[in-house]
Amino acid sequence: MNMRFLDCTDFTGMHTLEELDAAYEKWLDSDYSHFVNRMTGSSPHQRFMAEYDRLRFADLQKLDIIFLNRETRTLYNNSCIQFGKQLFEVPQEYIASLHGGKRKIQIRYDPEHLSVLYIVDDVQYRILHTLRPSDLAANTRRRRKQLIDYGKAGVE
């Protein structure tokens, strides 16, 4: 590339990165891809096409999951984690093993969409749970089942 593109290209009329990119693409298509290499006896295009059937293509959904950012957060006894300035609810199965302490949990997120977090299976690269911010106003109106009626203790 140094000897054939950079040394032989006139850059005087180029003022933007897009113009440079277009010149590079033109050079790749017209010169580099079809230039026969002395060592291999074939051009890069011919060599690529000769081994095309051996290529393995990645699952795009798995790639999206693999490239999510990851962070470790403390999971509290109320089944929530804090991310940024928001609380996110985590399924209660993750606090089942807690005994009054705190547990660390790894979450994944897209830095461009911080309103949704994920818990991911790192072996099969699939989303196990989608975490959304806690609705604190809705939680105050939620009816809870009273487990123990302390008012009737000792009265028959």
Higher pLDDT, 102 or 116: 116
More confident residue, 30 or 66: 66
CA pair distance 141, 26, nearest whole angstrom: 64
Mean local confidence (pLDDT), 134-146: 68
Quick: pLDDT tens for 120-132. Answer: 998 888 999 999 9
| Residues contacting residue 79 through CB under 8 Å, at least 6 positions apart | 89, 90, 91, 92, 94, 95
Tens-digit pLDDT profile for residues 58-104: 899 999 999 999 999 988 877 889 998 899 988 888 876 555 556 88
Selection from 141, 91, 147 nearest residue 117 by Cα: 91
pLDDT at 97: 59
What is the arithmetic mean of pLDDT over 43-67?
A: 90
> What's the confidence (pLDDT) of residue 119?
94
CA distances (Å), 141 to each of 1, 80, 87, 89, in order? 66, 18, 17, 16
List domains and CATH numbers for the chain: 2-54 (no CATH), 60-141 (2.40.50)
pTM for the model stands at: 0.58
Mean pLDDT of 119-146: 81
- Please choose, from the candidates 47, 1, 45, the residue with its C-alpha nearest in 3D space to the C-alpha of residue 23: 1
Residue with tokens 């705190």: 102
